[in-house]
Homo-oligomer: A and B are copies of this chain.
Amino acid sequence: MGQILAIDIGGTQIRAALFERGSLKPARVERTRTEASKPGVYDRLEALVASIWPEGGQVDAIGIASPGPLDPHTGVIIATPNIKEWRNFPLTGKLKARFGVPVVLDNDANLACLGEWQFGAGQGHQDVLYLTISTGIGGGVVSNGRLVQGYHGLAGELGHTTVWPDGPLCGCGKRGHIEAIASGTAIARYAREQIQDGGRPSSLASLATITSRDVSDAAAAGDLLAIETLARAGRYLGVAVANFLAAFDPSIVIFGGGASNSGPALFDPFHASLRENIFDPTYLTNLTFARAALGDDAGLLGAQTLAAMAVTQK
């Protein structure tokens, strides 16, 4: 049995890692800068894969975690926010033609979910809900031991579900998505608006720019506006997660992403809202809440898992 080559395509760097199948630690890791706005991203990626390819060794499959939207069934990148030259780009097809092994692909949130399930906080569970709260809100779902991908490969886009039809505008152009209310970006924006447009007093008023981390720090120090800002996000996050429980009924909810470090100022109102909005308390019986355990390696480890599954199923 050969090795698995896992790739994580990030905004600033592309990482490639060689794994013994099922291993948490890579045998080798190489990186290159993404330089997303410069031409030749694919060529840099291909050279990176060639540079890590084991001499005389065997690679069973390549797994790739990429920003979406993308189609995991065809291996085509539909578009990525950063890499403009990748529009309807047949990424797995090109790598398969070059390296002659199976190549599989999914978006970073889905693969972070898969990675946390196999190697991280979700180990031992069969029904996993994963939410990453950072600049946006990403989601991934494992149901009965399988990643939920959907017909177009667009399942689990949980940040773009509506919890407030007349609510704030989302980055995607629609209204009231949970991403538009509870993402790090949304948290920082709400605090800024309350200060600038609402004239509300806050320790944050002296800052030139406000981040969600600033809001968390200010809330921890007792700033009332910051506390209210996080309570608002937590309340709607509770509505959203109540919906996800009714849809998927997981045994564990895993939170990743920087803004999920906001602590009790976010999560106390979240849990109160979840209890208030969940339609049957049975959903909460033996339900585990956990922090993501794998950090930046979750996508890479999920890509390894997806690739190993693809080979096993053949």
Question: Is B69 in contact with A161, judged by CB distance below 8 angstroms?
Answer: no
In chain B, what residue has the closest Cβ to A251?
B151
| C-alpha gap A125/B151 in the complex (Å) | 9
> A246-272: which residues lie under 8 A (CB-CB) from chain B?
246-251
Question: Is B248 in contact with A160, judged by CB distance below 8 angstroms?
Answer: no
| C-alpha gap A300/B16 in the complex (Å) | 51
| C-alpha gap A157/B242 in the complex (Å) | 11
1/0 per residue, CB under 8 A from B, across A136-175: the answer is: 0000010110101111111111101111110000101110
Question: Is B151 in contact with A126, judged by CB distance below 8 angstroms?
Answer: yes
- A143: chain B residues at CB < 8 Å are 143, 148, 150, 155
Question: Is B239 in contact with A154, judged by CB distance below 8 angstroms?
Answer: no
Set B78, B174, B236, B279: member contacting A177, Cβ < 8 A: B279
Question: Is A279 in contact with B170, judged by CB distance below 8 angstroms?
Answer: yes
In chain B, what residue has the closest Cβ to A243?
B161
Set B154, B156, B160, B246: member contacting A161, Cβ < 8 A: B246
Question: Is A277 in contact with B174, judged by CB distance below 8 angstroms?
Answer: yes
Question: Is B283 in contact with A152, judged by CB distance below 8 angstroms?
Answer: yes
The smallest C-beta distance from A286 to any residue of chain B, in angstroms, reads 8
Q: A127-B150, A151-B127, A164-B165 are in contact. Are A247 and B283 (CB under 8 A)?
A: no
In chain B, what residue has the closest Cβ to A179?
B279
- A174: chain B residues at CB < 8 Å are 276-279
Question: Is A239 in contact with B162, judged by CB distance below 8 angstroms?
Answer: yes
> A291-308: which residues lie under 8 A (CB-CB) from chain B?
none
- A247: chain B residues at CB < 8 Å are 141, 155-158, 161, 244, 247-248
Question: Is A165 in contact with B163, judged by CB distance below 8 angstroms?
Answer: yes
Among A141, A151, A239, A282, residue most surrounded by chain B Cβ atoms (within 10 Å): A151
1/0 per residue, CB under 8 A from B, across A53-87: the answer is: 00000000000000001000000001000000000
- A248: chain B residues at CB < 8 Å are 148, 150, 155, 247
What are 25 A-to-B residue pairs whose CB atoms are below 8 Å? A69-B280, A143-B148, A144-B148, A144-B149, A148-B148, A152-B282, A152-B285, A154-B246, A154-B249, A155-B246, A155-B247, A155-B248, A156-B247, A157-B247, A157-B279, A158-B246, A160-B280, A161-B243, A161-B247, A162-B163, A162-B243, A162-B277, A172-B280, A173-B279, A243-B243
Please give the residue numbers on chain A whose beta carbons come within 8 Å of chain B beta carbons, in ascending order: 69, 78, 125-127, 141, 143-144, 146, 148-158, 160-165, 170, 172-174, 177, 236, 239, 242-244, 246-251, 276-280, 282-283, 285-287
